[in-house]
Amino acid sequence: MKDIITGKAYVVGDSIDTDQIIPAIHLVYSMTVPEERQFYGRYALCGLPDGQQGIPEGNVPFTAPDKYKSDFTFVIAGTNFGCGSSREHAPFALQEAGSEVVIAESYARIFYRNAVDGGFVIPFETRVRLIDQIKTGDELTLDTKTGILINVTSGIEFLLDPLGDVAEILKCGNVFEYARRAGLMA
């Protein structure tokens, strides 16, 4: 986990479920074969409904149709992000697209655990409704140690909730590497 992360924001709404993050039709690709896993990045967040709650203003695609990586380092969400099925493919797809951080008001428990256990994305929480104060395309800077998020575009600063105990897991890369380093497994 990097101390400072910079990049563009992609803003979605409340209750974004795992089928919107990576639709089931795209779960046919291997997560371990590089030529296949890149498709998770291409199809990340492609299940957001056009013109409905959840999709950013202007129907901006998360990943361009001819690309495997997104231009968006941050996903900014409302409440209950990652609800739905328990698939680990959802945070994996965001990582494969090049996103490093999801900042939400709240998470579905299983998405949060999958994000942390796999070290796919850093799941910060906020008590501020950022989806009303940050726009898709805004440039952001996050200090992961202090939880200070700066919207460079607007100049507004926000304090995110601390990561707590999961910070150590994310620093190690995933829960298995954390367990190895902590002497909990060989």
- CA distances 126 to 27, 61, 104, 114, Å, are 30, 24, 6, 19
In a domain, 37, yes or no: yes
Q: Name the domain count of the chain.
A: 1
In a domain, 172, yes or no: no
Q: What is the CATH number of the domain that holds 113?
A: 3.20.19.10
Name every residue whose Cβ is closer than 8 Å to that of residue 87 and which is 6 or more positions away in sequence: 18, 22, 27, 114
Domain extent at residue 98: 8-138
CB contact at 8 A, 41 and 102: no
In a domain, 134, yes or no: yes
pLDDT in tens, 66-95: 999 999 999 999 999 999 987 899 999 999
In a domain, 173, yes or no: no
Exposed, middle or buried, 110 (CB in 10 Å: 0-12/13-18/19+)? middle
164 token code pair: 């707590």
Between CA 177 and CA 171 the distance in angstroms is 10
pLDDT in tens, 7-45: 999 999 999 999 999 999 999 999 999 999 999 999 999
In a domain, 1, yes or no: no
